[in-house]
Amino acid sequence: MVVSAFRRTVIEAQEAMMAMRKRVEHGGTIRSRRDMLKAGVAGVVAATGVVRAAAAQAPAPRATRGSAAGVAGARLNGPLFFDVETTTGVVRGMANTGIKIFRGIPYGADTSGANRFMPPRKPAAWTGARHCLGYGPISPQTASGFRSDYAQLIQWDKHIGTGGMSEDCLSLNVWTPGVNDNAKRAVLVSFHGGGWATGSGNGPMYDGGQLALLGDVVVVTVNHRLASFGYTHLAAVGAPTEFRSAAVCGVMDMVASLEWVRDNIAAFGGDPARVMIFGQSGGGAKTSTLLGTPAAKGLFHRAVVQSGSTLRLADEAAAEKSADMLLQKLGLTRRRVAEIQRLPWEQLLQAQTEAAGAAFTPVMDGKYLPHHPFDPSAPAESKDVPVIISTTLEDAALRLTNWDLTESGLIALLNERYKDKASEILDLYRPVSGGKTPYLVQAQVFTDTQVRSRAIAQAERKAAQGGGGAWMYIWEWATPAFEGKLGAVHGHDVDASFNLYRNGICGTGEKTGRLMAKRLASTFVAFAKTGNPDNDQIPHWPTYDAVTRATMIFDANTRVVNDPRAAIRKYWSQNVESTAADE
């Protein structure tokens, strides 16, 4: 009876909306915005009342992890709320435009206290239906500043405050067109950017709704431990053996999230045999690392690395130095290192920020991570996994703020950095940088010598391995935001890959931005579904090899170019700065 009443209220609301539309179609008017919203809101409110009535008739819920509680009662299967059974309990999500959204699903237990620096543990099971309507907490991290135009453009400050912050951060979010339907849709799992230190799967650039709607796919975003909480090499500073995984536990978190996908995604309409992992910047570094992680083998079947090609991880000597610096700021000696689990997480984060020069990234420990991801060659663990590798034309602009750089200033800058070679460098760039400001030419130079150099090396090594193919693209379409001064900046293709044409970096609904977002998102969907990026939104895209170097150029005129910027690539391959220590 309760379920019938619930459905009846929704149907009544839908009928009211249809009547209003017909009135408009036949020349009627809507008196106010309130009239326009009234029918839909009334239906939701009434339906909510029915759900509350159902809950009132059921036994009181048992409190579970964090502030969540299991809601006892009949399972819900639409049209507004949907329940799905996972290996640890039932989760309840909510539909929007046919997409069922589940936020803050735990895939691991709280990592505080005795679980700090330990491998992830399974979450405790719960009874009833767990509300997964809001995002879960994110890993402790510092905030993005308000003064950076770039940070404001990508809304990086919005990560903090959306879901809170704590060590109880092992959660993921799911967007899917259907649940419990055995549809076996391709699954796209995103690992967020922000290096290894900031960000979350909750941010506005990782909303999976539009991508799931466009491609009839399941989208998953992941939260995991970051910086000192996930990558402090305590074993190198005398910690007891139980801390042996402290330098890689953040990678273990990501593997655990993929194990959750393997075990649960079918109930969310996904296919555990068609899982694509992807990430940009720090997310690209994570994806690169997972491609070479033995424990991740078989958990994913395609991969995309966007502006984050990582060839090598931190070595143990550098990681030991960083761990020592952290202990010093915490006031702990090596003999007292185990006490680090008793400190408040706020104290640990504060010490991390004060340890100037310390870096907390995964360590090639020879055990869990037995080798570097792509050095000296592509990893055997993912030989059969096809990979797309990419950069943006002006990736390096994210850290540059000398907007008023002049031509003479550019010459002086390049002469200083590259030993009086500005003239020969600029001769290479003039044919490909027409109309670009000196600021953006500078950004192209720094991109070619750093992130693009690593991307080319990664693609060459993947192609040479055989097995799954390699594809390369350069995103050249410049963002119109902030008067276009940032060009095709780092991260521009993230929003596009999620089909988030509404976001500022894609032009806030501007026509070309919509087109570019659809092109890239459709390409990711095709790749996730088939292992081949070809689709009707782009030209045929050949695989990359060291001879033809076929590269898709994503621009208003999206096209394939063999060995684009060839003279520049050859020049920097002979004169490039060292890229051994990846960012």
Q: Catalytic positions, please? A: 281
Q: How far is CA 368 from CA 233, 246, 363, 365, in A?
A: 13, 11, 9, 7
**Distance between CA 512 and CA 548 in Å, rounded?**
29
- Calpha distance 73→56 (Å, rounded): 9
User: How many CB atoms sit inside 10 A of residue 540's CB?
Assistant: 9
Residue from 311, 283, 304 nearest 386 by CA: 304
Q: Angle CA(434)–CA(435)–CA(439) in degrees, nearest 5?
A: 105
**CB 259 within 8 Å of CB 87:** no
- Main-chain dihedrals φ then ψ at residue 107, nearest 5 degrees: -110, -5
Helix (H) or strand (E) holding 103: strand 99-106
Query: Do residues 383 and 465 lie in contact, with contact meaning Cβ atoms separated by under 8 Å?
Result: yes
Query: Could you please report the per-residue DSSP string of 456-500?
Result: HHHHHHHHHH-SS-EEEEEE-PPP-GGGGTT-SBTTHHHHHHTT-
Distance CA 469, CA 459 (A): 9
For residue 219, the one-letter residue type is V
Long-range Cβ contacts of 398-407 (<8 Å, 24+ apart): 398/150, 398/489, 398/490, 398/491, 399/150, 400/439, 400/442, 400/443, 400/446, 401/148, 401/149, 402/439, 402/442, 403/439, 403/485, 404/439, 405/437, 405/438, 405/439, 405/442, 406/438, 407/438
Beta bridge partners, 472, equal 389, 551
550-554 and 171-176 beta bridge pairing: unpaired
Tell me which H or E stretch contains 291.
helix 282-291
Q: What angle do CA 392, 398, 401 make, to 5 degrees?
A: 135
Counting every residue written for the chain, the total comes to: 583
Tokens for 387?
Answer: 């990979």
Residues 55, 313: Cα–Cα separation, whole Å: 51
Let me know if 42 is exposed, middle or buried by CB neighbors in 10 A (0-12, 13-18, 19+).
middle
